[in-house]
Structure 1
Amino acid sequence: MQPETVLKQRIQSIDVLRGLVMLIMALDHTREFFHIQGMTGDPTDLATTTPFLFFTRWITHYCAPTFVFLSGVSVYLAGLKRTPKEMAAFLIKRGLWLILVELVLLSLAFTLNPLFNVLVMQVIWATGVSMIILGLMIRLPMMVITVTGCILFLGHNLLDYVALPEKGAWALLLKMLFTARGTVIQLNATHFIFCLYAVLPWTGVMFTGYTFGQLYKPGFEAKKRQNYLRLAGLIMIVLFVILRFTNLYGDPSPWKLQRTWVFSLISFLNTSKYPCSLLYLFMTIGPALILLAYLENIQNKFTAVLNTYGSVPFFYYVPHFYIIRTLSVILFFASGYTSKDIVTPNMPFLFRPLNFGYNLPVVYLIWLFIIASLYFPCRWFSAYKKTHKQWWLSYL
């Protein structure tokens, strides 16, 4: 396959924002495997956390919602180059591919268990299923997709007020679709599925992103688009503050005044990710939309670096887990652990003893090393994708 004579055009602001959240996302994964309390403490537990630890976790909340939202925008833009039938087939196939990657490549990276005793279902799983649902609906009018997205986005917390079944197949289905927050599904005596992401709230995020994709269709005035993005972001932030302050709706965990103003602020910002609440989505997507608007007018060396990562998100995402786990194995043995410490009882992750790890400044240094190690590979693959058109590139 010969390179195309004209480079493929991408929307820089989308890639820059995606690159930013992809880099921040790696911070949370680094914390989980290298922080001394990564497997024993909860950084959002107000009784035990510190402001620095909470911020390290909280800032990464912006990643998954922004990533899934921008995936919806990208689906709309990809659809401009395909027929609805072609787009439906592509989304279904890519969704199935993402689910396979989650269950095989990413579960292996997380656990380092070649027997796959534990399968982990996270954001890539939710993104894949959402793509399949969007693929099945892609030939419907835009208004139907928009309304469906709004119902899921705005209304899924209504289930907080409903007594749902706790046992049986129906209960399991509802958990996987709406309420999963670390749901363990037992396949047999030795194999389990660990479902962290309830699908349909994230489907609402993707459908909303798909609707916003119309702002980027050819001929749409840039200034008008930026105004719409800023206005939508501002509305989300205002609604977040009002609903969170009043504890009326949108999050199952109300905030409370704490012993100091810092911890009161932490309580206010400590919205629910598992499953993602409406206020969690307002808190994260609102600022992301405003930033997306302003990024259209910013071009410098830093945004160029972010653009490199954001233009190849899949190529970055999967290897970064393997780099994290390879480094964790090296430091595992360097710290004096031996083969008898590889397995920790009642823990799905190999090479991760409960008392292994470092303080937060060291975690940040490891994080910087990990993302830096992927810069040149990402730059190479980004250039390759822009100048080639093999069919398999659209799946990476």
Structure 2
Amino acid sequence: MNPSFERLMAEASRLTQTGDLRAATAAIHAALGGAAVPAPAAPQKNESCVIDVEAREIKTNVDAPPRPPPPPRTEAPAGQFSAGSHTDSAGTRGYKLFVPPGYTGQALPLVVMLHGCTQNPDDFAAGTGMNEAARERGVFVLYPAQAQTHNASRCWNWFKHNHQRRGRGEPAILAGMTRAVMKRYDIDPERVYVAGLSAGGAMAAILGDAYPELFAAVGVHSGLPTGSATDVKSAFAAMQGAAAVAVAATRPRPPTIVFHGDRDTTVVPLNGERVVAGNADAAAPEVERARSANGHDYTRSVYRDEAGRVRAEHWLVHGAGHAWSGGSARGSYTDANGPDATEAMLAFFLVNALRGAPATGAS
């Protein structure tokens, strides 16, 4: 080894121990570049000669009073759309959260939006326009994100038996994530809702059945009812209209709004009818046939209970396929020609509240 190099590095070590970091740095540069070692520099005002080696932190201005602790971490300032992550005993999933402008700590509603296969929160938010609609009404929007490590196509695993019940798998993760956001932002606990598209719609139905004390209403767009399948093979069969697998559901279910295109060949319209059947019982619906301002005709069926409360709405969009009705081309799986599913779902949600319904069963 070069003796000059050894001498310079030894000098750098000595200077470090005395606290003269500027001179030590110069010595290291000299060792590497062959320059002479400059004279040690005098310590500057307020520069301490103490080095916290373990933490790799140079302490300065040691006589100054300690700094106050940082303010509590906030996931997203009001009016912003920010990323986060939730972990509990059931697993970990990321998310994005829209915080409406004007939020200062008051209790506001929350809509949980579950994307479809191959989508992500940004894509789903852009296609549905839910953030823009929520901004006008002062509503939080939570977009959980499925990871490819949990499903290669980023589908929610609605078709697997261990992801269909309370306290297990993805329903437990999503319910836990929802509760964590509610706690952080003091969300109104009586006005929390869940909606989804396709696989997200199927998972929204599961969450409504599994956690009726958490979700005041449910939106299912191009999805399937709880228990439609137990594996991949039965999932494809169910999507094409095969008879659903019988799975006991909590009663009463939350009020539910369903959107489905009558030309959907990915998840056939019969599945939307089956979702509604879980809430409609034997009641005869009020039926309205109209044309969307955007182009598609639609049939809207409203089901009420004996007290006159709306238990379900079924919007069958004529001429529409497997796409979010009235959505924007900025996102995938959208059909701008249909009635606005985002506006209809928000209107449906905001007239429903839990009104202190008690929790049931395990978390």
Q: Which has the higher strand share?
A: 2
Larger Rg: 2
Higher relative CO (Cα under 8 Å, sequence separation at least 6) belongs to 1
Q: Which has the higher helix share?
A: 1
